[in-house]
Structure 1
Amino acid sequence: MAEFKQQGNTCIVSGQLDQQAVRSLWNGRDSILATETSALQLSKIEYCDSAGVAFLLELVGIHAAKGVSLKLVSPSEQLKKFIILYDLNDFFIEEAK
């Protein structure tokens, strides 16, 4: 299961963000992040599948609809494989850890 931990303007996502986790998080997706969140820090994600990636992009879309830019930063090594495989480089930002 994925955990979202707010630290100031950044939310640290950890654990597994897979189809099962997305199902349990889906109904609360509009309120999972604080309004002031400007970055999702993803280096602590242990496993993410296509449903998890779609969920992250959904969160970006929800914030954009509210007029707030949400950056997806520091993807984990496992998540980087997905980013390369599906050519999602434009959505994720690599930052120093």
Structure 2
Amino acid sequence: MATFKQQGDNCSVSGRLDQDAVIRLWSGRSNILEPDTACLQLSGIEYCDSAGVAFLLELVSIFAAKGATLKLISPSEQLKKFIILYDLNDFFIEEAK
């Protein structure tokens, strides 16, 4: 299961973000992050599948609908492989700037 740890305007995600985790997190997705969150730090993700990537992009979409930007930063090595495979580079930032 993935855990989200808020630290100011950053939130770190760790653990597994797979289909089972997404099913558990889905109903609370609009409230999982503080409204002022600017960056979602992804280096702690041990495993992520397509449902997990879709969940991350849904969080970005929720922020965009509110006129805010949520940056997905520092993807884990396992997540980087997924990003390359599905050409998702435009949605993820290698390192925090």
TM-score by structure 1 length? 0.98
Structure 1 unaligned spans of 5+: none
Task: Kindly report the root-mean-square deviation, in angstroms, between the aligned alpha carbons of the 2 structures.
Answer: 0.7
**Offset at 1:55?**
0.1
Q: What are the superposed Cα offsets for residues 35-83 of structure 1, whole Å, 9 maximum, x if unpaired?
A: 0000000000000000000000000000011111000000000000000
Structure 2, unmatched stretches of 5+, are none
Does 1:93 find its partner at 2:93? yes
The one-letter code matched in structure 1 to 2:10 is T
| 3-state SS, counterpart of residue 51 of structure 2 | helix
Secondary structure in 2 aligned to 1:64? Answer: helix
TM-score (norm 2): 0.98
Partner of 1:5: 5
Paired residue secondary structure (2:87): coil
Distance 2:51 2:95 in 1: 24
Cα distance, 1:33 vs structure 2: 0.3
